[in-house]
Structure 1
């Protein structure tokens, strides 16, 4: 067929229409893919928001559960502190609220306010225990221990009261320093009210030679010194102290001294001993 001058070899028009349609189809397909991708992103973002909100709800519920447990424990198994005030043997100071360790003739006195559930108190004891023993054994230092029940009030439970009563019972048996150390060495987590169980306190007495006796067990089970413990904590509150431990060397709060170390404490006591 003769296409005439100037038209020989020109592409048929239907081919151009086909290419144009393909281009439009390609653009349409690209738009659809873009729309689909955006739709996927929206759905993914929606799922993410649902997960975040759901996680937040779970977190709030979990926190509420913890608060509920603490609140439930706060009033549970509270020891009777309304009985007659019975100070442990050898207690001295105002109202007989201090348990002394060391020679009365020592020129330095260390007043220590502690709670057997208090992690910071354990930290102090772990760091200073050997130095304090060395100084009390040498007659250079006298320590007066005051027992508080701060953690019972903050966390709920009654482990602070029970442990303090057991420590006072150990004082009756002449075993306070040894049992005091055992309680801090075996201190449970702050949120674990393990010391509320007299059975645990009696079990730990087995780590002190001669303490696990019928008299000690009865003293622990009866809560003989509970009222004394309550009076001791009342004195702690009236003292205006910021927390436990509070450590006073000859009336000066040394626990707040950031430069204080066992070595520095030892030097201060030795200097006082030399006059």
Structure 2
């Protein structure tokens, strides 16, 4: 083999070696890019999962959960009931209701005069539980915001008056007007002495929002059929289609008179 031919073969081998090194470099770079891209995708997916998990269970427009602050005078398990009437009344009516609920408004308007009469006379105590059923069904925050505002009214001893104003001015079920805190403050002007800086701050800050959330949780755990749920003892009188304000009044008065009769018999026996 001539020197020229040997030189040509050596040069060809060298070129091939150089090309192989170039290809190895390209392959290493490609593997690096693939691994890097995979890491970025994994991190991005983890970030998305984190955001989804962080927002799971929150309603649109909901505020971050804060401490559970019960309104003044609330009683019962976890202080979830707002009482109206005298503590020693013989009969207790437990009401679960939503300020956006049309059926709740119908019940309140039909029974309001009787309920006021019986609570003011000391014959009946009502325990109100405020829930957010319509927010869950229709979307929005009007149930929660109005319930919080009613709890704020309870703080200053104006619950009953404001409770009635809210039902008197209830919007259509699909209209989330009570989500507007300005509207709730405007309605407070219809109750003498309610529109104060303290009340405004309570409404605007959502002071009792988490408390309202706890009440809704209790409603769900109770497996009640809907709102309103109106219990006299263990009986849901709202489901009793024969029930009327007059019949409820008669039942409460009989219970009250029965207690007085029992007390009279004990007095006679002690003589």
TM-score greater than 0.5 by the shorter chain: yes
1:186 aligns with 2:169: yes
1:158 aligns with 2:158: no
TM-score (norm 1): 0.72
Q: Which runs of 4+ in 1 moved over 2 A?
A: none
> CA offset at residue 252 of structure 1?
1.4
Partner of 1:269: 252
Larger Rg: 1
1:79 aligns with 2:63: yes
3-state SS of paired residue (2:230): strand
CA separation in 1, counterparts of 2:137 and 2:234?
Answer: 27
RMSD: 0.9
CA separation in 2, counterparts of 1:161 and 1:105?
Answer: 30
Partner of 1:202: 185
Q: 1:128 aligns with which of 111, 114, 121?
A: 111
CA separation in 2, counterparts of 1:101 and 1:75?
Answer: 31
CA separation in 1, counterparts of 2:160 and 2:233?
Answer: 20
3-state SS of paired residue (1:89): coil
> CA offset at residue 79 of structure 1?
3.3
TM-score (norm 2): 0.73
Query: Any unmatched runs of 5+ in structure 2?
Result: 1-57, 259-271
Partner of 1:145: 128
1:114 aligns with 2:114: no
> CA offset at residue 251 of structure 1?
2.2
1:216-235 per-position Cα deviation (integer Å, ceiling 9, x unaligned): 00000000000000000000
Query: Any unmatched runs of 5+ in structure 1?
Result: 1-73
Q: 1:217 aligns with which of 184, 188, 200?
A: 200
Partner of 1:167: 150
Partner of 1:18: none
1:80-135 per-position Cα deviation (integer Å, ceiling 9, x unaligned): 3x110000000000000000000001000000000000000000001000100000
3-state SS of paired residue (2:171): coil
CA separation in 1, counterparts of 2:167 and 2:124?
Answer: 21
Do the aligned partners of 1:112 and 1:144 also contact (CA within 8 Å) in 2?
Answer: yes
> CA offset at residue 78 of structure 1?
1.8
